[in-house]
Amino acid sequence: LLSGASSSFTLAASDKGSYSCKASRGQKTSTVQSNKIQLDVKEIPVPVLHNATQWLDVFPTERVELSCWMKGSSGWIFTWFRNKNLIKANSSVLIENDGTKLSITAASTSHRGNYSCSGALKGRSVNSKLSKEVMLDIYDTKPRVTLVQNPDDSLMHTADSVSFHCHINVSSGWSYLWYKNDSPFKAGHHYNISSAGLADTGSYKCQVKRGASFQSDKSEAAKLTIEERPEAAIILLTRWADVFSTDSLLLKCNVKDSALSWNYTWFKENEQVDLPLSEEHKVTPQDDPDQSRYTCKGTRNERPFYSVTSDSYRTKNLLLKRRILLAISGCIFFGIIAVFIGCIALRIFRKPASDFEKTEDDNLFIRAQVKDFTDSPCPLVEYIKDADLNPSPKEGEENDAISSETTLMPKPSPEDQAVTTNSHESTENGGGMMSFQH
């Protein structure tokens, strides 16, 4: 019950209810009671402070946003506090007009502390209590990122598996950026290579990022080199000369172009042969009557741990094929030797040409010389021809006188007779050797 024409008091939650009034004068006169007014009294709400960013441990230069609001009520203006001290807006701290949001554009260690806010109703003297505090932690330096490679060998071989893990041990909310030879590529927290190839050789780095712009520094580089895996090959040690004296084949496994120490595993029809790890393997008809396909590979306790499996080596009928091939080759070889020896013998023991055949050949040459001699003009004939063609004046008159008489040939000289006689004898002798006399 209150008295007086007006009443002013500070409300409490217990003051809620229905209020009315009436006037009285003296002890007997009073007015009718006024209309009732219902007064509802509520507790002043406490504002809620919320971090708009997902994390409250931040790094230098990172952006931070905090918000303050009243649940189920409107018309409030908010004020911000750090460590119970009023915060005023400046170049690095921005506060919206109604105070609902506080933004730190570039965090530094000076922004470290406990943040809270309070609200006041517009046009009324109603002030809320401070909100619950939110602690903002600012690191002194940017985060350090570590790139972990597993296994950590810098030299690996084709078909090896390797994984990279980008590790950061502080805060949360990170996304990951990856680089190979400084060229970016997409990956998550891990980057796995299940079967390495030569193209995977390179220098790998990673860094972390969160928010719109904050990034860590890049990690140290992890250099990876991929080389071709050594390849195994099967060599047949059984010599050609042994194919007629043995029924077994001796195989050897060798890793090509490798000076490393290897152990060897053998496979028959793709199933491992239960034998000691030897580089040689003996195939006998008793152990392998089906004459199977064999492969092998090298193994080590260090990288490369194993080689590429060799091409399959089939032993079926190999000895028989080599025996047949050697027999055919031997026949051809000895046939060639026989022909060669026969040619030499024929040349040595062939009968020489007869004396008659040689004389006949010589006579042909002499006949050619005689023909050339007989074709040349005789000096006596030349003399007769010149005398007939160029007569003297006296002879001209004598010729006219004896033109009717028979002309007598001059008597041949003894030299001409000798030539004629020898030519005749040569003709009668069938073209034999002749000598010229002068």
Q: What is the 3-state secondary structure (H, E, C) of 23-80?
A: CEECCCEECCCCCCEEECCCCCCCCEEEECCCCCEECCCCCEEEEEECCCCCCEEEEE
User: In the structure, what pLDDT confidence band is assigned to residue 363 with cuts at 50, 70 and 90?
Assistant: low
Q: How far apart are CA 387 and CA 50, in angstroms?
A: 160
The backbone torsions φ and ψ at residue 250, rounded to the nearest 5 degrees and listed phi first, read: -110, 115
419 pLDDT above the threshold of 70: no
For the chain, residues classed under CATH 2.60.40.10 are 146-227, 232-316
User: In the structure, what pLDDT confidence band is assigned to residue 435 with cuts at 50, 70 and 90?
Assistant: very low
255 three-class SS: strand
- Whole-number Cα distances in Å, 233 to 283, 310, 312: 17, 5, 9
Q: What is the mean pLDDT of the chain?
A: 79
Q: How far apart are CA 177 and CA 415, in angstroms?
A: 129
417 pLDDT above the threshold of 80: no
- Region 110-121: mean pLDDT is 96
Q: How far apart are CA 405 and CA 109, in angstroms?
A: 167
Q: How far apart are CA 317 and CA 288, in angstroms?
A: 12
Contact between 111 and 185 (Cβ < 8 Å)? no
Element of type H or E holding 165: strand 162-167
Q: How far apart are CA 47 and CA 261, in angstroms?
A: 75
15 pLDDT above the threshold of 80: no
Identify the pLDDT of residue 250.
Answer: 83
279 pLDDT above the threshold of 50: yes
Q: Tell me 242's DSSP state.
A: G
**What is the distance, to the nearest Å, from the Cα of residue 98 to the centroid of all Cα atoms in its chain?**
63
| Tally of CB atoms within 10 A around 428 | 9
Position with higher pLDDT, 38 vs 151: 151
Closest CA to 93 of 66, 74, 73: 66
134 three-class SS: strand
Position with higher pLDDT, 342 vs 186: 186
Q: How far apart are CA 55 and CA 107, in angstroms?
A: 13
Strands 222-227 and 190-193, by their bridges, are: unpaired
Identify the pLDDT of residue 414.
Answer: 45
- Region 13-25: mean pLDDT is 80
What class does CATH assign to 232-316?
mainly beta
- Region 215-231: mean pLDDT is 96
Closest CA to 426 of 355, 387, 374, 379: 374
Q: How far apart are CA 223 and CA 229, in angstroms?
A: 19
What's the CATH number of domain 146-227, 2.60.40.1180, 3.40.718.10, 3.30.1360.10, 2.60.40.10? Answer: 2.60.40.10
Identify the pLDDT of residue 420.
Answer: 40
User: In the structure, what pLDDT confidence band is assigned to residue 9 with cuts at 50, 70 and 90?
Assistant: low
